[in-house]
Amino acid sequence: MIESAIEALVIVLDPSRIVFILLGVMIGIVVGILPGLGGPVGMSMLLPFIFGMDPYTGMALLIGMVAVIHTADTFPSVLIGVPGSSGSQATIMDGYPLAKKGDSGRALGAAFAASLVGGIVGAFILFIVIPVGRPIVLSFGSPELFMMSLLGISMVGVLSGKAPIKGIIAGLLGMLIGTVGGAPAVAEYRFTFDWIYLYRGIPLAVFALGLFALPEMIDLLAQRRTISSTGTLKGSRIKGIKDVISNKWLVLRSSALGTLIGFVPGLGGSVVDWISYGVAKKTLKNTEGFGHGDIRGVIAPESANNAKEGGTLIPTLLFGIPGSGTTAILLGGLILLGVQAGPSMLTTDLPLTLSIVWTLALANIFGALLCLLLTNQISKLSIIKPDKIVPFLLIIMVVGAYQSTRHWGDLIVFIIIGLVGWSMKHLDWPRAPLLVGFVLALSSERYLHLSMSRYGYEWMYQPTVISIGLVIFFIVASGLFFNRRPKKIEG
C-alpha cells in the first residue's frame, strides 16, 4: 500500500498534472465564490473537457476543482451572508456577524486554515479507510440513513437560538416546501399548481439565495450601512490562523465528523456543516457567543465541509454509490475516462485511487493558500458602501439563481423566497432551520418510505437506530431545555 501510495504521488507530481490541479483549483475558487454555483455546476462544466485525457490528468482537473469549492465558498458566506454553495450555509451563522464587526479578515483566515486542515484530514481518512471501507458502507441501511437525516433535522433545536418552537415550525415549513414536486414513493406531483417548473421541486441554490441573500441586499441598501457595520477592517488573517491553532482539537474533531458524514451516501454535503456547527455548539464551553460572531462557529463547519469531500469519495469510488450530485457527475467522469468505479478501484485501479487521494490533499493546500493570499483584497468588499456594491451582487445572484434550472421559475421563486426570508428576518423567525428542513425533506421521506416498506415498524428496534435516536433525543431536549424562557416569547 505504501509503495503504491509513493508511486501515485510520483504520478501526481508530474508537472503537467500539477498544472491541471492548479487549473481545477482556480476554476473551483471561481465556482465557490459565485453564489448559487456549486459542485454539480462546476463538474458539469469541466466534464466535456476531460474526454480523451488519461485518467490521472482528468481526475487531477476534476478533483482539483471539487476540493476547493468549499474553501472559496466562504468568501460570500462571510462577506455578504450568502452561502457560496450548499456546504457553507452554517458558516454564515458566525462568519457574517464577524464581518459586520469588521473582523472579516480574521473569519476568512480561520476558515481557510480550517479548510486546509479539514481537507487534508479527509484525504488521510480516505487513504486509511480504503482497505476497510466496504463492510462499513454496507452496514448502513435505509433505517440508519433515515435516522441520520433526522439527526440533521434535529439541529434546528440548536440553530433556533432563543426561539426553539419558532425554529421547529421553520424546520417543518422547510420540510413542507421540500416536498414540492414529485413524491419519492409513488407517481404523484405535490403542491405544483400544475406549473411544470415545480415538478422537479425547488432548487436548493435558488432557495438558499432567496432566503439569505435577497433580504440582506435590501437591508444593506435601506439601512445605508456597509457589511462591516463599523466601516473598518480590524481582524487579520494571521489572527484567524492563530484561532485555528488554538482550537486544534475542534478542527480535528470537526474534520473527522465531516468525513464520517460525507461517507454516508445520500445524506449529502448540505447537512455536514450544520451538524458540525450544532455539535460544536453543544459540546464546547462558553457558547453564548455562537450566532453572534464566535470564531469557533466558523472553524467547525469549515473544517467539516472540506473533510467531507474525502468521505464522499469513499462510497463513490469503492462501490459506485454517489453521495451527492457532484459525485454522481464524477462517476460519469470516471466512465468517460474509461474507469469503472467499484471494487476494482482497490485492485487494478489502486494507483488511480491513491492519486485521487494525493490530488485531494494537494488541491486543498493550493486552494487554501490561494484563498489566504486573496483574503485581504476580497475582505475590502465589506467596507464598500452598499449602493456601490449591491447592484453588482444582485446581478451575480440573478445569474447564479438562473443557472439552477435555467427557467424563469428560478427568478420568480428567488423573489418569493426572498420576501419570505425578509419577513422572517424582521419578525425574528430563525431562517437557518427553514433551510435545514428543506434540504433534508426529500431524503427523510425517501428513507422513511424504504424503511417502512422493507421492515414495517421493525426497523425502529434496530440497535443502531435506537442509538442514533437517543442522540437525537438528547440534542432536541437539551436545545429546548437550555433555550427555555417561560412566559415570554423571544426571537
Partner 1 sequence: MTLKAYSVIFAALLISLFIWAAVEAASFQRLASYFPLYISIFGAILNTYILILELKARSNSKELNETSGGPKEYILYMSWFTGYFVAIYLVGMVAASMLFLFFFLRYESKQSLLFTIISMTLVALLLIGFSHMMNLNYPKSLFPILEI
Which of 5, 30 has the CB closer to partner 1? 30
Q: Which of 214, 237, 217 is nearest to 380 (CA)?
A: 237
Residue 45 CA to residue 26 CA, distance in Å, equals 13
Q: Does 449 bind partner 1 (CB under 8 A)?
A: yes
- CA-based Rg of the chain, rounded to a whole angstrom? 21
Minimum Å gap between C-beta 396 and partner 1 is 9
Residue choice 19, 183, 331, 350 for contact with partner 1 (CB under 8 A): 183
Which of 88, 404 has the CB closer to partner 1? 404
Q: Which of residues 191-220 bind partner 1 (CB under 8 A)?
A: 191, 214, 217-219
Q: Which residue has the cell 432536541?
A: 476
Q: Which residue has the cell 417502512?
A: 452
Q: Which of residues 74-93 bind partner 1 (CB under 8 A)?
A: none
Residue choice 43, 98, 117, 168 for contact with partner 1 (CB under 8 A): 168
What single DSSP character describes residue 196? Answer: G
Q: Which of residues 396-415 bind partner 1 (CB under 8 A)?
A: 398-399, 402-403, 406, 408, 411, 415
Contacts of 455 (CB under 8 A, 6+ apart): 143
Q: Are 297 and 161 in contact (CB under 8 A)?
A: no
Which of 412, 466 has the CB closer to partner 1? 412
User: Inter-axis angle of helices 432-455 and 142-153, to 10 degrees?
Assistant: 160
Q: Are 199 and 189 in contact (CB under 8 A)?
A: yes
Q: Does 176 bind partner 1 (CB under 8 A)?
A: yes
Residue choice 395, 466, 470, 477 for contact with partner 1 (CB under 8 A): 395
Beta bridge partners of 189: 182
Minimum Å gap between C-beta 326 and partner 1 is 16
Q: Which of 186, 211, 200 is nearest to 82 (CA)?
A: 211
Q: Which of 62, 52, 51 is nearest to 23 (CA)?
A: 62
Residue choice 9, 18, 26, 45 for contact with partner 1 (CB under 8 A): 45
Minimum Å gap between C-beta 173 and partner 1 is 6
As given in the structure block, the three cell numbers for residue 48 are 466535456
Q: Identity (one letter) of the amino acid at 251?
A: V
Which of 19, 172 has the CB closer to partner 1? 172
**Only segment of 110-118, 179-187, 234-242, 296-304 that touches partner 1 (CB under 8 A):** 179-187
- Angle CA(363)–CA(277)–CA(448) in degrees, nearest 5? 100
Q: Which of residues 412-441 bind partner 1 (CB under 8 A)?
A: 415, 423-424, 426-429
Residue 83 CA to residue 205 CA, distance in Å, equals 9
**Only segment of 85-93, 127-135, 174-182, 347-355 that touches partner 1 (CB under 8 A):** 174-182
Q: Does 179 bind partner 1 (CB under 8 A)?
A: yes
Q: Does 222 bind partner 1 (CB under 8 A)?
A: yes
- Angle CA(433)–CA(207)–CA(282) in degrees, nearest 5? 25
Kind plus residue range of the DSSP H or E element containing 239: helix 237-246
**Only segment of 77-85, 268-276, 285-293, 391-399 that touches partner 1 (CB under 8 A):** 391-399
Q: Does 186 bind partner 1 (CB under 8 A)?
A: yes
Q: Are 366 and 68 in contact (CB under 8 A)?
A: yes
List interacting residues with partner 1 (CB under 8 A).
45, 165-166, 168-169, 172-173, 175-176, 179, 183, 185-186, 188, 190-191, 214, 217-219, 221-224, 385, 387-388, 391-392, 394-395, 398-399, 402-403, 406, 408, 411, 415, 423-424, 426-429, 444-445, 448-449, 488-489
